[in-house]
Amino acid sequence: MRTTIRLAAFAVALAGASAHAEGLSPIEERLVADVRANSGAAIEFLEKTVRVNSGTLNLDGVREVGRLFAAEFESLGFTTRWIAMPPEMNRAGHFVAARKGTKGKRLLLIGHLDTVFEKTSSVPLWDRRDGTVRGQGATDMKGGDVIVLEALRALHREGALDDASITVFFTGDEERVGTPVEKARADFIEAAKASDIALAFEGTVVRDGRPTATIARRASSGWVVRITAKPGHSAGVFSESSGYGAIYEGARIINAFREQLRETDLTYNIGLAVGGTTARYEESTATANAFGKSNVIPEHMEIVGDLRYVDYAQRDRTHQRMREIVAQSLPHTKSTISFREAYPPMAPTEGNLRLREMYSRASADAGLGTIEPLPISDRGAGDVQFVAPYVDSLDGLGSTGKGSHTDNEELEIASIERGAIRAAVTIYRLTR
């Protein structure tokens, strides 16, 4: 049983666990030189992938990006396949590339092909400026996918992939996981169970000027509050006979959540609230419709939010408190809350900490400085959380940028080279 350990318990240990440069072996020096020599070609391929819109619901676009990567991985001796999802899930599927061997650790390298930018987005597909690129999903996370490819390309040129066991798994619905989640991630989890270590290439977070890696992530789940109230003429609002209406009841619940649900590393965002005489939220499209008039007491309201927690004990405490708050309905209103799980928590295990130390050592040996652990509350959810219960895992090994999930998403071009160097040396050492 893998032991779950809170980050605070490791504060002292981490302070003394910084990696010390030991230098690169001759083959590792050649790997570094190879990555640097091919950085221009890496950016050219990145541009090719970013210029294809691959919003999660653009199924053809996601598949096209998968085909671009398939051709590249096949040239490195990987066997590739596409895992399709059932049509009713409205998700494109997943890309997998694998090489089987018997030497060293069995690695699972994780990325995703989809972006938050759907076909209707007005964000430019590719806008290169001095040292940066602004583009759809450039940082989140086609930059990370290209880092995986370039690290493996350098290893292939040195013959260092021979007899290594490496599975590359790029999901097609990380930004909006298909439902049922159990189906959407079944093959992904099976790949983890057949591996020893998972390395995920979501963007590298720079904190206080220093690059980090992710050894833990909070769970991500969802909740919906549904409210019904007695309708009537607005002149009677607040009265004993008419009550307060659905929207005042919703405001009570929202404010009580804000005031009463306070714990370290716990957050609960409200993403949408809709109310009126009629009000309906459609989960499949993340849209809502409502009708109401200022002189009518509103009959319906729906509130949609997420919940991010460190462990299941924190989740259960919070769920119970939320139910208690919702149950305290104002007169002539009735409220219910339902919960939906999405990403499980990724615990900061000893194995994850050791991986971070090894990755930091590889970075330092390559002259790129040490890598610090990222605090658990500084990162959102990611695919690595589905596999972390089964295998030692490390995330945040991708490109560096800013503005992810916004119209100003931007990638630092030089971070592709740095990420590929760190990944190539780390993968080489793990697969000896």
- Per-residue pLDDT tens digits for 337-362: 999 998 999 999 999 999 999 999 99
Phi-psi region of 238 (alpha: psi -120 to 50; beta: other; left: phi over 0): left
Angle subtended by helix axes 39-50 and 143-157, to nearest 10: 140
Are the CB atoms for 218 and 265 separated by under 8 Å? yes
pLDDT tens column, 236-290: 999 999 999 999 999 999 999 999 999 999 999 999 999 999 999 998 788 999 9
**Mean pLDDT of the region 72-92:** 97
CA 191 – CA 387 distance, rounded (Å): 9
Which residue's structure tokens are 């090489």? 99
Predicted local distance difference test score (pLDDT) of residue 22: 67
For residue 89, is pLDDT > 70? yes
Distances (CA, A) of 357 to 228, 251, 361: 53, 47, 6
Are the CB atoms for 55 and 47 separated by under 8 Å? no
Which residue's structure tokens are 């020599």? 37
Nearest CA-CA partner of 213 in 17, 432, 406: 17
Predicted local distance difference test score (pLDDT) of residue 283: 84
Q: Which residues neighbour 143 within 8 Å (Cβ) at sequence distance 6 or greater?
A: 46, 203, 398, 399, 401, 411, 415, 416, 419
Q: What is the architecture, at CATH level 2, of domain 219-343? A: 2-Layer Sandwich (3.30)
Q: Give start-end residues of each CATH 3.30.70.360 domain in the chain.
A: 219-343
Q: Which two tokens stand for residue 53?
A: 């819109």
Q: What are the helix (H) ranges across 103-229?
A: 143-157, 181-184, 186-193
Please provide the size of the chain in residues. Answer: 432
CA 302 – CA 305 distance, rounded (Å): 10
Q: How far out from the chain centre does Cα 265 lie?
A: 17
Q: Which pTM does this prediction carry?
A: 0.84
* Beta strand 197-200 pairing with 103-112: parallel
Q: Which two tokens stand for residue 383?
A: 């695919």
For residue 48, is pLDDT > 80? yes
CATH code for 7-217+346-430? 3.40.630.10
